[in-house]
Amino acid sequence: MSRYVIQPSRLQSGDLGVPGDKSISHRALLLGAIAEGVTHIAGFLEGEDCLATMQAVRQLGVDVEGPHSGDVTVNGVGLRGLRGASTVLDMGNAGTAMRLFMGLLSAQSFDSELRGDASLMRRPMERAAKPLREMGARIETRDGRPPVSIRGGADLHGIRYAMPIASAQVKSAVLLAGLYARGETVVDEPAVTRDHTERMLRTFGCNVALRDGTARLQPPRRLAAAQIVVPGDFSSAAFWIVAACIGAFGPVVVRGVGVNPSRTGLLEMLALMGADLRLFNHRNFGSEPVADIEVRPASLTGARIPARLVPLAIDELPALFIAAACAAGETLVTGAAELRVKETDRIAVMAQGLAEVGIAHEVLPDGLRIEGGSLRGGTVDSGGDHRVAMSFAIAALRASGPLEILDVANVATSYPGFVAAARQAGLAISEAA
């Protein structure tokens, strides 16, 4: 089982880039596949999660060239051009891939079966299956989890669905099925969730409106191929942003990061804790806003994190917990029960790691109360969770001794090249089998 060993070190000041956005890379492949014409994707994330989506798209009969240094060409087959796969579609570790494919495949004329790795096989899929069934899909889970079997030939109709949980994956699954449904499909979200699907659908020429927490989609006659430039992944930048706050020699700039407001709750949380952050060089990559982010080292103070920010930082909370561990006083995060059904139970796994490095905390059903303090070295088990592994890697910047992090291979799902980037940034990190 691969592991990291990190010796006490500091982040160099200077510039960093991050790999392409995972959410946007998945969506570019899926929409490119069912568009008419040739879609070019630049800055595609060559991580295992998106490669699983690419493999599945190929199994469905779509010719995809690449990836070549982030460049991908998708020869779209049109809305009705997918072909049934001859074998099971393996989504690996990728919850996004599975839930988005559930929506897309519910509307096809052929049967499909979706599986994943051990972590994904434990994750809840009824949240997406239920509204799809309401639309007329014939979709089954096993005790609410994968494998997911989808019977082809269903006749879908649009619905209005009020999501009980704030999930961009569920919203996206319903919208993708809605592309093929009779009538309008409407999704109401209980809190803001990432809107990459809606933005990209518009780029592909589909009429979808997003206002006041409601997405409305009119089924299009066709999607038109597009040129997509994928921004740097804010969720990967998050590790360097927190690292720069807690353990850098001087200012750090992360360049070319996607700053879609449905993703950047971490910046507001850190600002509440006294972080010194600045966004500049604002521009757009297609319909997605991008900026450079400058972070200066700061003495953080614990804060009560407003619940409204939690869905805007759902993937960044492990990194925020490390910021909280390094802050003076108490930080309280609640309203984050969704963390329990991510790649691991991130509340439990982060709590165990915090205990190992000597940080006092209280586990809550829907969050953590963390008392900032001094971190010691030790051995933390990431449970195979990429974001937990990278969060403790940056925690090592403040540990008094070497930190060993176990079961880190899944970092490659979202951040290929993390170790090389970390080393270049000054972290004394090595990876061992």
CB 368 within 8 A of CB 321: yes
Please report how close the Cβ of residue 204 comes to ligand S3P at its closest, in angstroms. 17
50 near ligand S3P, rule: CB under 6 A: no
Q: Decide whether 23 or 112 has the Cβ nearer to ligand S3P.
A: 23
168 near ligand S3P, rule: CB under 6 A: yes
Catalytic residue among 90, 315, 385, 407: 315
Specify the stretch interacting with ligand S3P by CB under 6 A; choose among 155-163, 168-176, 316-324, 363-371: 168-176
260 near ligand S3P, rule: CB under 6 A: no
Query: Strand order of the sheet with strand 138-142?
Result: 89-90, 112-115, 145-151, 138-142
Rounded to 5 degrees, what are φ and ψ at 270? Answer: -65, -35
* Cα separations in angstroms, 192 against 158, 186, 284, 308, 350: 22, 15, 21, 9, 25
Please report how close the Cβ of residue 169 comes to ligand S3P at its closest, in angstroms. 3
Q: How far from the centroid of its chain's Cα atoms is residue 403's Cα?
A: 26
CA–CA separation, 104 vs 197, rounded Å? 13
Q: Decide whether 167 or 410 has the Cβ nearer to ligand S3P.
A: 167
Among residues 117, 315, 385, 407, which is the contact residue for ligand S3P, using CB under 6 A? Answer: 315
AA letter at 285: F
Tokens for 136?
A: 């007329």
C-beta neighbour count of 374 within 10 angstroms: 12
Specify the stretch interacting with ligand S3P by CB under 6 A; choose among 62-70, 80-88, 161-169, 218-226: 161-169
Nearest C-alpha neighbor of 284 from the set 202, 224, 216: 202
CB 93 within 8 A of CB 120: yes
411 near ligand S3P, rule: CB under 6 A: no
Please report how close the Cβ of residue 122 comes to ligand S3P at its closest, in angstroms. 14
120 near ligand S3P, rule: CB under 6 A: no
215 near ligand S3P, rule: CB under 6 A: no
Among residues 39, 93, 96, 108, which is the contact residue for ligand S3P, using CB under 6 A? Answer: 96
The verdict on whether 315 is a catalytic residue reads yes
169 near ligand S3P, rule: CB under 6 A: yes
Among residues 39, 112, 141, 172, which is the contact residue for ligand S3P, using CB under 6 A? Answer: 172
Cβ neighbours for 90, distance < 8 A, ≥ 6 positions apart: 52, 55, 56, 115, 116
Residues making contact with ligand S3P (CB under 6 A): 23, 96, 167-169, 172, 194, 314-315, 338
For the annotated catalytic residues, the residue numbers are 315
